[in-house]
Chains A and B, each alone.
Chain A
Amino acid sequence: MTNTIGDIGDADVIMVVGSNTTENHPVLSTVVKRAVKYKNAKLLVVDPRQIKLTKFADLWLRPNLGSDVAWINGLMHVIIAENLHDKAFIEKRTNDFEGLKSMVEKFTPDYVEKITGIAAQQIIDAARLYANAGASAILYCMGITQHTTGTDNVKSLANLSMLCGNLGIPGGGVNPLRGQNNVQGACDMGGLPNVYTGYQPVTDAAVRKKMEDAWGITGLPEKNGLTVTKMVPMAHDGDIKAFYIIGENPLVSDPDLNHAEKSFANLDFLVVQDIFVTETGKMADVILPATCFAEKDGTFTNTERRVQRIRKAVDAPGDAWDDWKITSEIAKRMGYPMAYKNAQEIFEEIREVTPSYAGVTYERIERQGLHWPCPSQEHPGTPILHTRQFTRGKGVFHAIDYIAPAETVDDEYPLYLTTGRVLYHYHTGTMTRRTDGLNERAPESFVEISAKDAEKFGVEDGSPINVASRRGQITVRATISEQAVSGTVFIPFHFAEAAANRLTNAALDPVSNIPEFKVCAIKLSSAA
């Protein structure tokens, strides 16, 4: 997030896009709801489902799946046409406005209505709502990113925010809500194929030299590595021979699971480090037992870039070890000792090689976390990014055209499927499905369908339904719901036994390599 969670409460307008916030980030959603109910903030929700937040919204836009660039360009068209953009900010802080302006020219409200299904008048209303506010915050989640145009979608939101001068100010910003406890930290720590810690590029010789010196080695690899979504298909083709998987369950969370299973079966060696035998663990040659978050010391970094402590509260079961210790022991056996006494010693090393973390110490975050960048021990941390300038200097407007999703409906597969989470479960369910009460509240998978579609396709509430895409088929119960909008159904991906990802499309965004989980075409048939 460019801004903080608490900062959302200072927004005049909050635009929530592709985020079912009350279910996926429930505590953060309370900040949104309080701002609307008690602080007169206006709420604009853009989502293909009638999620709970729409009940709090001043305006709900319902786009067709995968049409985000079109409606965002539509908003910008109206804002520029009505002269509502922030000329001073554009002049002082950005480049390439003219390119954007000519691109959005064709995205008239009528044209946008044809692509997105959003009424032209609603595009105009939304544009005025967003642009006329003092500070407008954008919150987005996987509904924006998990598309073949995910990068375009994010850039488009950045365009919109810059256009109205909403970056670098309290109550503004472009704020991705990160879905896993330490996904921010995993990225910050260089758990990505192209960067070391703090986003230092692996292709930068000076950075490599710094890391080599710090680690006392030579010959760090010079080319970018591969993303998970590239590596799995390469295992299928035999170019990847081994995976070392730590605390992940790709055989429920990957797209097009039937294909992914074949990839994993094709490996020469698979080692899985986890707290349970997961669906992925079952295919492993070696399973290494790890401690869970309640059994270890360390830090997580949350979605607002706040580095926070975790502390050991209970002993690990049996002979489970901390993940870093297991990894270090493998390293030692491969000829490179990584002998750390404890997590804090590792954190001290992180500080040394990571400018944005250099000022964070366990002592400083004993009672409350700090936001990176925090370059020195005297630095107070950075709650709001880009207050004076962007990381690269001036912000760049990207002229982006609309591209349709990779798969669209046809006569054979007449309905769209979008996937996500429910309140009571988390990701592949490894943790939440081991809590009886959560299972009582949400015992099994389901397909959420509108009453109109249910009637059209002869689906009865509660009945078992076969859902098939071009890639696979699962059987789930039908739930007729007001949250569903006709033409699109929703299935949560938590449930391995009826894994939604047997249906999803592994088509990738060309830049980020994120799969298009949020759009695929399906058909329904009775399983009774």
Chain B
Amino acid sequence: MENQKPIVINGNRFNFTEGDTILDVARQNNIEIPTLCHLKGTTPTGTCRVCVVEIAGQEDLVTSCDTKAVEGMIVQTESSRVVASRKQTIKNMLSMGNHNCAVRAPHEESWTQYQLKVHAEDKSPELCPAWGDCRLQDLAYHYQVSGSDYSNVETLYPMEMANPFIIRDFSRCILCGRCVKACNEIQVNNAIEFGYDGDKKKIVAGDDKLLKDSDCVFCGECVQACPVGALVPKDARFDRPWETEKVRSTCSYCGVGCQIDFHVKDNQIVKITGAEDTAPNYGSLCVKGRFGFQFVHAKDRLTTPLIKENGEFREASWDEALDLTAKRLSEIKDAHGADSIGVFTSARVSNEDNYAAMKFTRAVLKTNNIDHCARL
């Protein structure tokens, strides 16, 4: 094609389209370049430098996420210089916070002291909440990197727990900016940004407010985007991915029909995340869809049929309740005609449930008095 131009990656020629980044071309051709700060659907920034590659004739390594492919470019994605750079990048990240998993540091003498410090700050003896679901941990294993022994680096900003949904753990933040991208470019809520300079750099809400006092609407897009343990759902802080089963479904709130993954542990929903690979939401959710599922396991869920007697409800068996319902509906139909009965089916229940209610109303009760809350 006219606008297709060649580029060489790891010795192989590939065509690319004007405007593609080196990362785009690599991914289109199943060449793995690791990324960390890059968030799908947002403008790349090259902040984390994990995606660096080597270009023949250029002294400095470049970040592949925001470097456009140029005709004739010769790119190495895993050269020794590239790997050394990535290792140093990962090492620096691991060294800067409370990354108290096995990749942090092998130094036995400082390990105990370090863990105790982190446990005290976490107010928990658990390892990092992201353990097992952490991009930094994955990269550290992949490149066989451990952190430096800076066990006495002080935590600059305390953990923020003062809202119902999201824990902000600045000690584990690697300042990759994915959360900022998620908030500003995906949800366009513009609640958070980079604040302060140099060593004091921090993700801030407004003029460094608590999330609960800021423009944050708790959609949790940032939590889902966070590649480490810096942003975690409060109610599922230490739920590990290997302990939960994922079940794909559809959100039960508004009519957008966001695709969700339930994370289920011991017959309980512990977390809901947005399904990233499918329309209509491509991973996004709102506060209700992501965090509003406590009702499923509420203590006052109905668990048995109830029959009212003398103004009070008593528990009943299914047979008793169904027999009574069928008998009363039949009596009223016989005495006053089918049109004296009305059925309210529901915009909350499934198509299959609605079909059954519709068929029952028309084929059994023999009335068209069926409607639902579409108008309300």
Question: Which residues of A are at the interface with B, using a C-beta cutoff of 8 A?
Answer: 4-6, 22, 24-28, 30, 33-34, 37-38, 56, 145-146, 177-194, 196-197, 202, 211, 215, 217, 219-221, 223-229, 231, 235, 239-248, 250, 253-254, 268-269, 271, 274-277, 284-290, 292-296, 298-304, 306-315, 317-324, 326-331, 333-336, 338, 340, 343, 346-347, 349-350, 367-369, 423-427, 430-432, 434-438, 440-441, 512-515, 517
Contacts and interface: CB of A to CB of B under 8 A. Distances in A.
Contact of B351 (A320, A350, A367): A350
B363 interface: yes
Interface in B116-138: none
Interface in B325-376: 325-330, 332, 335-336, 338-360, 362-376
B287 A438 contact: yes
Given A183-B255, A250-B376, 19 more contacts: A5-B256, A27-B286, A177-B254, A182-B347, A189-B354, A191-B354, A221-B339, A221-B367, A224-B368, A225-B369, A228-B373, A277-B300, A277-B313, A292-B301, A293-B350, A310-B252, A313-B269, A317-B301, A330-B325
B320 to A, nearest CB: 9
B2 to A, nearest CB: 25
Given A191-B354, A302-B256, A369-B257, A182 B373 contact: no
B351 A300 contact: yes
A175 to B, nearest CB: 11
Contact of B295 (A146, A319, A336, A430): A430
Contacts of A430: 295
B369 A231 contact: yes
Contacts of B375: 145-146, 227-229, 512-515
Contacts of B374: 180, 183, 186-187, 192
A348 B268 CA distance: 30
Nearest to A208: B362
A315 B267 contact: yes
A321 B252 CA distance: 18
B302 interface: yes
B249 A294 contact: yes
25 contacts: A5-B279, A177-B255, A179-B255, A183-B373, A189-B345, A197-B355, A228-B342, A285-B308, A285-B328, A286-B324, A287-B313, A290-B302, A293-B252, A296-B350, A298-B351, A312-B247, A314-B297, A324-B352, A328-B360, A334-B326, A338-B359, A338-B360, A423-B217, A437-B163, A438-B291
Contacts of B259: 308
Nearest to B187: A30
A294 B187 contact: no
A364 to B, nearest CB: 14
B278 interface: yes
Nearest 9 interchain pairs by C-beta? A318-B303, A302-B257, A437-B164, A225-B368, A298-B350, A178-B255, A247-B346, A333-B326, A289-B302
A228 B347 CA distance: 13
A168 B6 CA distance: 39
Contacts of A197: 355, 358
B298 interface: yes
A25 B254 contact: yes
B269 A301 contact: no
B253 interface: yes
Contacts of A192: 370-372, 374
Contacts of A38: 185
B79 interface: no
A306 B251 CA distance: 13
B61 interface: no
A242 B247 contact: no
A6 B255 contact: no
B326 A323 contact: no
A309 B255 contact: no
Contact of A215 (B264, B338, B363): B363
B256 A228 contact: no
Nearest to B42: A38
Nearest to B292: A435
Given A228-B344, A302-B256, A302-B280, A432 B292 contact: yes
B249 A313 contact: yes
B62 to A, nearest CB: 25
Interface residues of B, number: 110
A291 to B, nearest CB: 9
A220 to B, nearest CB: 6
Contact of A179 (B254, B287, B351): B254
B164 A287 contact: no
Contact of A37 (B188, B289, B340, B344): B188
Contacts of A340: 356
B241 to A, nearest CB: 16
Contact of A30 (B284, B343, B349): B284
Nearest to A350: B355
Contacts of A34: 185-186, 188
B247 A225 contact: no
A301 B352 CA distance: 11
Nearest to A234: B342
A229 B372 CA distance: 10
Given A220-B362, A250-B376, A434-B298, A193 B370 contact: yes
Contacts of A226: 339, 342, 368-369, 371
B321 interface: yes
A183 B373 CA distance: 8
Contacts of B279: 4-6, 306, 368-369
A65 to B, nearest CB: 18
B296 to A, nearest CB: 5
B164 A242 contact: no
A181 B356 contact: no
Contact of A26 (B219, B330, B343, B366): B219
Given A310-B249, A330-B329, A182 B351 contact: yes
B370 A293 contact: no
A235 B340 CA distance: 9
Nearest to A318: B303
B170 interface: no
Given A38-B185, A369-B257, A293 B249 contact: yes
